[in-house]
Amino acid sequence: MLLHFIFIIIGIILVLWGADRLTEGSVAVAERLNIPQIVIGLTIVAMGTSMPEFCVSLISALKGTPDLAVGNVVGSNIFNSLFIVGVTAVITPMSILRSTVMKDIPFALVASVILLMMCLDGRIGRIDAALLFSFFLIFMFMTLKSAKINKQELKEENKLAKKALNSIPKMNPTMSIIWILIGLACLIGGSTLFVEGASKLATALGVSEAVIGLTIVAGGTSLPELATSVVSARKGNSGIAIGNVLGSNVFNILGILGVTGLVCPMQLQGITNTDLSIMVISMIMIWFFSFTKYVIERWEGFILSVTFIGYMVYLISNAGVMDIW
């Protein structure tokens, strides 16, 4: 069992490091092509934090463990919405833009409801996946279009984009291509190792792959979002945190499961309606809390965090892991 944990730890380190290198290389190429900072910030940098989920879910589906793939996405979204937003709000109240409450949160909620409805028959086929990916393209179009139309938010987004891009080292074209290739290699190799370790761990513990996907895998692949959100909150940029979480949630459902389902249709077994419902409820809670002065207060963050802990206790106790130990 120790070997399985070692595989998981080495795998997630490779995945996270590879995602950073891929993002740095991609940003360097985009800048050389004179792509506007706002576009880079809303696409490459934003998607970079979700690359671990994407690679782990894709590799899981290809290796015949669809519960790990979907469990990773559902678990990551629950982790993002309840734990990351909760902890960040406890650190400092989170101010939220009006457009986030009116557009981004509802879109993330609708995406969650769509996934819940699609999973009622126990599978995500290619038609389901194509629909998810179509919604993802619509979301990206709306995001980029609204950024151009709303000058005030464009100015704020540009500031965030500049901050994100300034932290990325400049490099020449050759180095950027090398970084992209190294990043991809680490993502694929790390994901394979991570999935292998998680799958074997599930067998060793006698629990379903869905439970491992909803807990260990989801928490591991969500580390970039957690780090970004906590650092942003401590620097007084709580708006970055909520945008990071919402963008990641939408990309996880529509982008990751859309592409993964198109490549490899998934038959689900261990993902329950309870898990999917918690994902939807977590988005409803964030939306409800956001309407109070467009701020998520500390006590609201505490409620989100406690809800996450309660869900984890429910998941682990139902899986019978405590009995094994």
Domain of 61? Answer: 2-324
Q: What is the pLDDT of residue 168?
A: 55
* 153, 163 Cβ separation under 8 angstroms: no
CATH of residue 175's domain is 1.20.1420.30
Average pLDDT over residues 34-40: 58
Its pTM stands at: 0.81
For residue 169, the 8-state DSSP code is: P
Q: What is the DSSP letter of 251?
A: I
Lowest mean pLDDT among 91-95, 105-109, 210-214, 238-242: 238-242
Question: For residue 132, is pLDDT > 90?
Answer: yes
Count Cβ neighbours within 10 Å for each residue of 219-252 and write b for 16 or more, e otherwise.
Answer: bbbbbbbbebbeebbeeebbbbbbbbbbbbbbbb
How far apart CA 253 and CA 248 sit, in angstroms, is 9
Question: How confident is the model at residue 325, as a pLDDT?
Answer: 41
Number of domains present in the structure of the chain: 1
